[in-house]
């Protein structure tokens, strides 16, 4: 990759010396790394990520003869599933853990998954459902109506709960209607 980028830079400026091309396109663009051969743009600060910066992840092989259907190995398979983090953003994972997986407006679970998706197609379908049903909303006021000191605090809510709370939806969600007239705590 480095050769291709350098070749492009030399082709773009055929009448300039090698030192000029190097100082123009290569440098220490990523401050956390001590690498001065990073290809980037000095004006915008954007740079090309190097392949060497990608961590190598080794996969743990399944023990010989381990079947998902074997009831004696239930704990083994549960442990393997717990090691894999779902492909969610760190913010979304932190908010889910902080809220114990519940919507603060209605109190019901944000994600309804009785088992972890098993295939890439199931993961894609599950993530698509999450994106349409759950939103991260910025908190600008406290529950009692006073202004918050931290305007960038976020919480996860159901989309229908957020619509009900903001007044865009005339009726309450079914989970709140079943609770009674008191509403969310």
- Domain positions in the chain are 2-53, 89-179
Token pair of 140 as six digits: 């600008």
E strand spans, the chain = 26-27, 38-39, 134-139, 153-158
Query: pTM of the prediction?
Result: 0.39
pLDDT digits (tens, 9 = 90+) for 114-151: 566 666 677 777 777 777 777 666 654 455 555 555 55
Q: Taking Cα atoms as reference points, which of 99, 118, 90 lies closest to residue 158?
A: 99
Q: Phi and psi (nearest 5°) for 66?
A: -80, 120
CA 111 – CA 105 distance, rounded (Å): 15
- Each residue's pLDDT expressed in tens, for the chain with a length of 185 residues: 888 999 999 999 999 999 999 888 998 888 788 888 889 888 888 888 888 888 887 877 888 888 888 888 888 887 877 776 666 777 777 877 788 778 888 887 776 665 666 666 777 777 777 777 776 666 544 555 555 555 567 777 877 787 777 665 455 445 444 544 444 44
């Amino acid at each position: 990759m480095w050769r291709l980028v350098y070749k492009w830079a030399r082709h773009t400026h055929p009448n300039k010396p090698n030192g000029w091309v190097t100082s123009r396109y290569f440098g220490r663009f990523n401050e956390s790394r001590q690498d001065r051969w990073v290809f980037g743009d000095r004006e915008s600060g954007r740079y090309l990520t190097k392949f060497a910066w990608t961590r190598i992840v080794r996969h743990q092989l399944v023990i010989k003869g381990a079947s998902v259907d074997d009831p004696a190995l239930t704990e083994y398979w549960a442990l393997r599933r717990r090691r894999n983090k779902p492909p969610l953003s760190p913010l979304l994972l932190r908010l889910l853990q902080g809220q114990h997986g519940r919507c603060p407006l209605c109190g019901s679970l944000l994600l309804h998954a009785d088992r972890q998706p098993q295939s890439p197609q199931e993961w894609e379908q599950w993530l698509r459902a999450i994106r349409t049903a759950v939103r991260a909303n910025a908190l600008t006021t406290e529950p009692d109506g006073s202004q918050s000191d931290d305007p960038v605090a976020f919480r996860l809510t159901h989309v229908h709960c957020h619509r009900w709370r903001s007044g865009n939806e005339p009726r309450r969600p079914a989970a709140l209607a079943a609770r009674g007239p008191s509403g969310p705590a």
